[in-house]
């Protein structure tokens, strides 16, 4: 326990925002002491200040940001998109344009793309012409594509330069990104020829040509590539930075590892929400908006529950005569649903990671069916024994045991086949898999248990 407390203390020291600070800022704002609240928050890192703003009620957010004389533009990049929309709604277009101009191009695009069309146009018109052209070009690419994620700020050198010229260029005050990991070597047509790691550049002698130390094994990312595919490439090949090219092969931007971390987090969050039937994170939404967003999926679930109830209705005579069936049947459906969800979760993840493919699908299906069968036999023995002693009838125990085996085998099979089938139909497996699986395991579970009971007991 002492060791765990020590770890927590170390983490608290690394994380700049504490519960005590949040309460202090909230109390100061609630009492009208805006200057005090601003003084407490002003020294926070941009990411921590964004977290603080998210934890405050909406009216206090605006008070705090207005009270801080110079808000780092990066704060807006770290804000949850729903909170950012609320904050920006209370800012005029000129102020938003100032924030956009201070941000890196990839963060600026992320901020602008969430605005309504008229607001977006108003902000872009207030941005300097050179920056506006680049932002508008990025916004032309599909949402969630490499063209939206990339940063436009690049460190490039022509292929005929040597190491000395490159280092002198970097020291000359030329317009370069604030932070970068590699230098892109380009040809006369501005197509990337290779990359030079900064560590390798600094170790080389000045007369050495950059083409002699560049790495030609690049992963060129088309600007239209989906960001999920970009994240896969970074993870697969351990990339730190990768060039983004247009349809003619010209270098137009780069994606760095920190951008990919955000993409991975976003894609994981999206898949988790889809498995629960949510289109997007509604944590910061108003009650009405949250209710409306969740209603449609709950309505679908109601329909599937009615289907399961109809199956139960076919065996109402058996249930009336053997009350134990009504008590035990939720167990069969629940076990099947839980076992299927375990398999489904692993399968959806494997599809996203490109580990589950048509080439190995049958082997994985066979494995999951075998796992379901083994678990089915084990739990059949446990539940069959419990039901036997519970109701004093060995036949009821045998029936629920047999139904348990059938449903867990089906759950293992369906947990892999359903996401594979949905992907084959170009439907996101994370969206529809859960409801299909739940309906299937409920219906088969009830049908196998009640059908066997009606056949054996009546």
Range from 56-70, 138-152, 161-175, 309-323 carrying the lowest mean pLDDT: 309-323
Query: How many residues are listed for the chain in this entry?
Result: 458
In terms of domains, do 144 and 190 share one?
no
| 98, 114, 149 - which closes a domain | 149
In terms of domains, do 85 and 199 share one?
no
In terms of domains, do 192 and 49 share one?
no
Give the domain range for residue 46: 2-149
Rounded average pLDDT over 150-166: 94
226 — alpha (psi -120 to 50), left (phi > 0) or beta? beta
CATH of residue 381: 1.10.357.20
CATH of residue 48: 1.25.60.10
Confidence (pLDDT) at 277: 62
| 149, 169, 201 - which closes a domain | 149
- Model-level pTM? 0.73
**Residues whose CB falls within 8 Å of the CB of residue 399, separated by 6 or more in sequence, listed in order:** 449, 452, 453, 456, 457
In terms of domains, do 232 and 99 share one?
no
Q: Is residue 280 part of a domain?
A: no
Range from 277-281, 321-325, 370-374 carrying the lowest mean pLDDT: 277-281
Q: What angle do CA 311, 317, 323 make, to 5 degrees?
A: 95
**Residues whose CB falls within 8 Å of the CB of residue 361, separated by 6 or more in sequence, listed in order:** 416, 420
Confidence (pLDDT) at 42: 86
In terms of domains, do 416 and 387 share one?
yes
DSSP one-letter code for 142: P
- pLDDT of residue 421 exceeding 80, the answer is yes
In terms of domains, do 234 and 371 share one?
no
- pLDDT of residue 1 exceeding 70, the answer is no
In terms of domains, do 397 and 301 share one?
yes
In terms of domains, do 73 and 27 share one?
yes
- Torsion sign over Cα 411, 415, 420, 426: positive
Instruction: Say how far apart CA 262 and CA 275 lie, in whole Å.
Output: 20
Binned at pLDDT 50, 70 and 90, residue 268 comes out as confident
In terms of domains, do 198 and 139 share one?
no
Confidence (pLDDT) at 290: 67
The strand pairing partners of 182, in sequence order, are: 197
In terms of domains, do 300 and 433 share one?
yes
Span 115-134, pLDDT tens digits: 888 889 999 998 888 888 88
- pLDDT of residue 155 exceeding 70, the answer is yes
In terms of domains, do 108 and 168 share one?
no
> Taking all residues of the chain, what is their mean pLDDT, rounded to a whole number?
87
CA distances (Å), origin 420, targets 134, 139, 368: 40, 33, 14
Percent of residues, the chain, with pLDDT higher than 70: 92
Q: Which residue has the higher pLDDT, 175 or 288?
A: 175
Number of domains in the chain: 3
- pLDDT of residue 265 exceeding 70, the answer is yes
Secondary structure of residue 60 in the 3-state scheme: helix
- pLDDT of residue 4 exceeding 60, the answer is no
What number of other Cβ atoms are within 10 A of residue 406's Cβ?
Answer: 23
Rounded average pLDDT over 161-177: 90
Q: Which residue has the higher pLDDT, 304 or 169?
A: 169
In terms of domains, do 246 and 322 share one?
no
């Amino acid at each position: 326990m002492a060791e765990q407390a020590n770890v927590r203390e170390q983490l608290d020291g690394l994380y700049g925002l504490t519960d005590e600070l949040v309460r202090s800022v909230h109390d100061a704002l609630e009492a009208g002491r805006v200057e005090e609240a601003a003084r407490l928050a002003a020294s926070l890192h941009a990411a921590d200040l964004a977290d603080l703003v998210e934890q405050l009620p909406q009216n206090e957010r605006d008070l705090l940001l207005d009270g801080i004389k110079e808000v780092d533009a990066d704060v807006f990049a770290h804000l949850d998109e729903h909170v950012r929309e609320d904050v920006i709604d209370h800012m005029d277009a000129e102020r938003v344009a100032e924030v956009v101009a201070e941000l890196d191009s990839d963060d600026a695009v992320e901020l602008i793309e969430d605005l309504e069309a008229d607001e977006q146009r108003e902000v872009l018109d207030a941005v300097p012409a050179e920056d506006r052209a680049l932002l508008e070009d990025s916004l032309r690419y599909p949402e969630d594509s490499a063209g939206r994620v990339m940063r436009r700020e690049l460190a490039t050198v022509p292929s005929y330069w040597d190491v000395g010229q490159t280092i002198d260029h970097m020291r000359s005050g030329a317009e370069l990104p604030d932070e970068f990991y590699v230098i892109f070597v380009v040809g006369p047509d501005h197509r990337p020829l290779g990359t030079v790691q900064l560590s390798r550049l600094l170790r080389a002698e000045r007369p050495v040509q950059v083409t002699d130390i560049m790495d030609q094994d690049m992963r060129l990312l088309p600007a239209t590539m989906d960001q999920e595919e970009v994240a896969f490439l970074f993870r697969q090949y351990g990339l730190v930075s990768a060039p983004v090219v247009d349809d003619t092969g010209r270098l137009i931007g780069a994606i760095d590892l920190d951008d990919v971390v955000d993409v991975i987090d976003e894609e994981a969050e999206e898949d988790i929400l889809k498995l629960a039937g949510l289109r997007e994170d509604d944590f910061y939404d108003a009650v009405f908006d949250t209710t409306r967003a969740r209603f449609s999926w709950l309505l679908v679930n109601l329909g599937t529950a009615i289907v399961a109830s109809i199956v139960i209705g076919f065996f109402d005579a058996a249930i009336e005569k053997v009350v134990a069936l009504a008590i035990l049947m939720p167990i069969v459906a629940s076990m099947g649903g839980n076992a299927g969800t375990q398999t489904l979760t692993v399968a959806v993840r494997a599809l996203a990671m490109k580990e589950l493919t048509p080439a190995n699908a049958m082997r994985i299906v066979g494995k999951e069916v075998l796992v379901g069968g083994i678990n089915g036999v084990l739990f059949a023995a446990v539940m069959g024994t419990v039901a036997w002693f519970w109701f004093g009838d060995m036949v009821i125990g045998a029936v629920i045991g047999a139904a348990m085996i059938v449903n867990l085998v089906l759950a293992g099979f369906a947990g892999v086949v359903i996401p594979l089938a949905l992907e084959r139909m170009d439907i996101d497996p994370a969206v529809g898999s859960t409801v299909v699986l739940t309906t299937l395991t409920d219906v088969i579970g009830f049908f196998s248990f009640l059908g066997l009971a009606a056949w054996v007991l009546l």
